[in-house]
Amino acid sequence: MCRIYTQVHKPVHADPDLSSLSVRQLRARRRRLSAALADPGASLKGSLVSQMRRCGKEGCRCAQGELHGPYVYLSISRDSDRRLLYVPAELAEVVRHHVALTEQIDATLAAISAINLELLARRQLD
């Protein structure tokens, strides 16, 4: 019970304190992370959202509030701009997979960067 509670409230990518690791341990960790990095070619940044829509045709059931959908969209943020790209149903799973891989890649790169920052602080970056 306590365990689950702790896991839920822990940050997703909680690093153990890097400063407590030796240079050798940091490099080993960096190697493991690099080896586990998903194919960067799979990158597709965004998040999937599903929405109900009104078609606007007169007399359609959606005019009475019975909306169409749900339809899947890829939400893409760029600077302060946010756009929705329609994702056909048959592509939704593939897109979902790419988006999940991208989050993994980002998290792994951030973890590697944190290690390199620690190594740099110790003048051991190479």
C-alpha closest to that of 37 among 124, 111, 89: 111
Told to check if 120 binds Zn ion by CB under 5 A, we report: no
Told to check if 67 binds Zn ion by CB under 5 A, we report: no
* Choices 58-66, 78-86, 88-96, 107-115; region in contact with Zn ion by CB under 5 A: 58-66
Indicate the residue among 63 and 125 with the shorter CB distance to Zn ion: 63
Looking at 28, 36, 55, 110, which residue binds Zn ion (CB under 5 A)?
A: 55
- Interior CA angle at 49 toward 36 and 13, to 5°? 30
Told to check if 52 binds Zn ion by CB under 5 A, we report: no
Told to check if 60 binds Zn ion by CB under 5 A, we report: yes
Type of residue found at 64: Q
Told to check if 36 binds Zn ion by CB under 5 A, we report: no
Indicate the residue among 55 and 94 with the shorter CB distance to Zn ion: 55
* Choices 2-10, 18-26, 33-41, 56-64; region in contact with Zn ion by CB under 5 A: 56-64
The answer to whether 38 and 98 have CB atoms below 8 angstroms apart is no
Type of residue found at 103: E
The answer to whether 111 and 12 have CB atoms below 8 angstroms apart is no
Three-state SS for 8-63 is: HHCCCCCCCCHHHCCHHHHHHHHHHHHHHCCCHHHCCCCEEEEEEECCCCCCCHHH
Looking at 18, 62, 92, 105, which residue binds Zn ion (CB under 5 A)?
A: 62
| Residues binding Zn ion (CB under 5 A) | 55, 60, 62
